[in-house]
Amino acid sequence: MKTKVVIVSCYGYMQPPNAEPLSAEILHSSLLSKFTPEEIDCYHEVLDYRIDPMGYLLADKLSVSDIKPDVLGISIPQSTYDLSISFLDAFFLKNPNTLIVLGHALPTHSPDIFLQKYSNALIVRGWGEETFCEIIAGVRSKKLNLSKIPNLMYFENEIKKNIVKWPTTYTKPIRYQPNGYFARIESSRGCHYDVCTFCTRQPKALKNISWFRYPVQEVLEEIRHIKSLGISSFTFTDEDFIGNDLSGAEELANGLTEISDIKFSLSVRVDNIINLSESEEMNNRRFSLLKLLKAGGLSLVYLGVESLSDTQLRRYGKGVTASESIKALNIVRDLEIPAEFGYILFDPFLTFDELEENISWLAKSNFWMDVGQLFNNLRVQKDTAFVKHLQNKNLLGKYDPNTMDYEYEFETPIIGKMASYCIQWKEEIDEVYSLARNVQRTKLSESPSDKFIYNYRLLEFNILKEFVKIADGNGSISFDNDLKNRRTELVIDLKQSLENMNLLESEVNLLKAINSYMMKWVNKN
């Protein structure tokens, strides 16, 4: 008898609508490698809040007799808690006997919330290829021994957590819609540094490594495969592309130059661009690697800078200094590789000196133009070192299960007020700006979004400088209508440019967000 399996990928506001559901594609492929078509039917569904905001449409669809799954796997990343709960509630009403398997960040880090509500559900901690296959095997044999399955959490009088095992075998994903999503390639997993105080960690056994690279030739073969499907651009999903394996990165770069005629983006740490604790020979190899990657099609590099204040960097546990970050940024610029760097300007312990230090560095060489989002506050996520630090200072506030982070108070009230205004400003336009960035990140060629992003970042940087001047003079911080009008003028200019061109799907989504923003702005004014 066939076992029906449905894998659902949830998309909230943190997930771009054109992001390829790679984890589902890998799970699906793993199942097909273990079971025959006579043994299982496996389907995939996307649950996007933009299309099905409560999940009711999908719940009804999966309740039809010839589709109804025996096992439902659902991927629940940050920003999809409410969506997943409303979907699961609606689905359970009609399908109480379906086995539910939950995965991704929210169930991994907040298992109590889900298991209190769905006590018979299973949760996969971290990566789940082997785990999911063993669950299906147990369902088919009617001998599901939960205690023997790695990476599993479940409720049995209390929450049980099984041993953690990282899958290290490369699984070639099934590409659901090769030209419908922005392609993603995975060449490594984990983070070799793995000690930043604001980062969550992948669950692992005590002696497990924190990062590994997949066999390079298998990764290159998958890149050749997507190119044969007509895909000319992709992103490496790796948190840490180079890791502690410079030779592997060099082998990948050489392979990419041989493949040719393809564009890609990737993420690296600052000390993988230049590491002052290493020899000149090693840093020359890092420089040569960047040049080789550019020759192979590197069109955008993401750098985890986070701050340009040394004391703030120490608080974040980054293991680098501001001057090292500046050196790395200048190297990337000198090579004319477009860059975007992550930045966490506001944290609970930010001081005026640190704020001014950040502004000073950003002003030099116009580094503000490469900051992904300047008005970012530190997201104090569950299971991170920052949680305990805030508890000790009595600054920790309410937990938000949707975003997996905590509210908090600022040690310096005026900094807190400034952060509050900046975050409010960001939230008002975040969907438009995030989708414009998504166009820039996935198109990897000139777009009207580029001009909008540049001018919007300049506006934010000028606002920040003005706020600091006002605060230094004990003035009142607020946004006047002129600033909001300027922001709207930028949006209108982008809208008009998009309306006069043939649009990619990502640009269509951006235009929808612009129209929604304009309706809200008109209503307020």
123-160 pLDDT, tens digit each: 999 889 999 999 999 999 999 999 999 999 999 999 99
Predicted local confidence at residue 472, as pLDDT = 67
Mean of pLDDT values over 232-246: 95
Predicted local confidence at residue 387, as pLDDT = 94
| Number of Cβ within a 10 Å radius of residue 158 | 7
pLDDT 10s digits, 258-299: 999 999 999 999 999 999 999 999 999 999 999 999 999 999
Mean of pLDDT values over 494-517: 93
pLDDT 10s digits, 390-404: 999 999 999 999 999
> What is each CA distance from 67 to 11, 45, 62, 290, in whole angstroms?
22, 12, 6, 49
- Three-state SS string over 494-525 comes to HHHHHHCCCCCHHHHHHHHHHHHHHHHHHHHC
| Number of Cβ within a 10 Å radius of residue 260 | 10
| pLDDT level of residue 167 (50, 70, 90 thresholds) | confident
> What is each CA distance from 195 to 109, 201, 316, 318, in whole angstroms?
17, 9, 9, 8
Q: Which two tokens stand for residue 520?
A: 């809200």
Residue in this structure with the two tokens 């546990």, named with its chain if needed: 317
pLDDT 10s digits, 55-103: 999 999 999 878 899 999 999 999 999 999 999 999 999 999 999 999 9
454 HSE (CA, 13 A, CB side): 10
CB 29 within 8 A of CB 193: no
Q: Is the pLDDT of residue 525 over 60?
A: no
Q: Is the pLDDT of residue 523 over 60?
A: no
Mean of pLDDT values over 318-341: 96
Q: Is the pLDDT of residue 178 over 80?
A: yes
Hey, what amino acid is at 338?
P
> What is each CA distance from 274 to 138, 204, 303, 314, 401, in whole angstroms?
49, 29, 12, 18, 38
φ and ψ at 343, to 5 degrees?
-145, 135
CB 107 within 8 A of CB 126: no
Predicted local confidence at residue 520, as pLDDT = 83
> What is each CA distance from 43 to 176, 397, 426, in whole angstroms?
10, 41, 37
Q: Which two tokens stand for residue 47?
A: 């649950």
Three-state secondary-structure class, residue 36: coil
| pLDDT level of residue 469 (50, 70, 90 thresholds) | confident
Which residues, 6+ apart, have CB-to-CB distance to 135 below 8 Å? 71, 99, 101, 122, 144, 149, 152
Q: What is the model's pTM?
A: 0.93
Q: Is the pLDDT of residue 208 over 70?
A: no
Short-list 208, 264, 203, 258, CA closest to 233: 264
Q: Average pLDDT of the chain?
A: 93
Directed axis angle between helix 481-499 and helix 505-524, to 10°? Answer: 150
| Number of Cβ within a 10 Å radius of residue 484 | 16
Three-state secondary-structure class, residue 343: strand
Predicted local confidence at residue 204, as pLDDT = 65
